[in-house]
Amino acid sequence: MNQGNSSLRTGPESWVDEHGDVLFRFALARVGKVDVAEELVQDTFLAALRAYDQFRGDSQERTWLISILKRKIIDSFRNKKCDSNTPHDQSVDSWLESLFDNRGQWKNAPQTWGVRPEAALETEEFWNMFQNCLNKLPTRMATSFRLRELDNYSAEDICKEQQLSTSNLWVILHRARIRLWKCLDLNWFNGEQGS
């Protein structure tokens, strides 16, 4: 019996209680379907069990499991076909339109975020605010934004998963970014708590 085996004894079953919800939430935020998210969590645990001997413990168990889950999510995207027949999204984003006048000029001119906006990144409040802004995005925008900007998945993989054309994807990303930008602006850089 080696040490690897003895730690195996305390590992896997406790994963479900310790990390199950977090992995499930992570997957659900990216694939949007409960049954698909559940299956991804299961696949992650199974892959983790097989690879457990290679887990050196040099990263946290949860970080390690998340990294496996991220690979599983990519695999599930790649099993889908890219839907090139998706009609181009012609819907009008009236919220976004309302930021501009009828000549296409900003109604409220963007203001500076100061000479050193990076200073904000050092405070916990900033990150909580960012997370709140992220959670306020409409579901579809949030999913695409998470996949592209947080997980750094390729546009091609995201299009497959979301059944979108690339031009649809960047319209969605544009809308998501502007919402986040406005949220950061109002709640931090040029709002009441502005620093």
- Work out whether 46 is an interface residue with another protein (CB under 8 A): yes
**36-51 as b/e: b if 16+ CB within 10 A:** ebeebbebbbeebeee
- 131 vs 163, beta carbon nearer another protein: 131
- Work out whether 121 is an interface residue with another protein (CB under 8 A): yes
Single residue of 3, 54, 63, 91 touching another protein by CB under 8 A:
63
Single residue of 131, 163, 193, 195 touching another protein by CB under 8 A:
131
- Work out whether 159 is an interface residue with another protein (CB under 8 A): no
Stretch that binds another protein, among 15-23, 74-82, 84-92 (CB under 8 A): 15-23
Interatomic CA distance for residues 178 and 83, integer angstroms: 26
Single residue of 66, 74, 82, 186 touching another protein by CB under 8 A:
66
Stretch that binds another protein, among 14-22, 71-79, 82-90 (CB under 8 A): 14-22
- Candidates 70, 77, 64; CA nearest to 156 is 77
Single residue of 55, 155, 168, 186 touching another protein by CB under 8 A:
155
Kindly compute the dihedral angle of the four CA atoms of residues 32, 38, 40, 45, in this order, to the nearest 10 degrees: 150
Interatomic CA distance for residues 41 and 37, integer angstroms: 6
Burial of 13 (0-12, 13-18, 19+ CB in 10 A): exposed
- Work out whether 98 is an interface residue with another protein (CB under 8 A): no
As a whole number of Å, the end-to-end CA separation of the chain is 58
Residue that the structure tokens 């009828």 belong to: 102
Token reading at 116: 């050193």
- Work out whether 140 is an interface residue with another protein (CB under 8 A): no
- Measured CA distances, 158 to 26, 136, 145 (Å): 16, 21, 10
- Contact residues: another protein, CB under 8 A: 5, 8, 12-13, 15-17, 20-26, 28-30, 34, 38, 41-42, 45-46, 49, 62-63, 66, 99-100, 103-106, 109-113, 117, 121, 127-128, 130-131, 134-135, 145-146, 149-152, 155, 166, 169-170, 173-174, 177-178, 180-181, 184-185
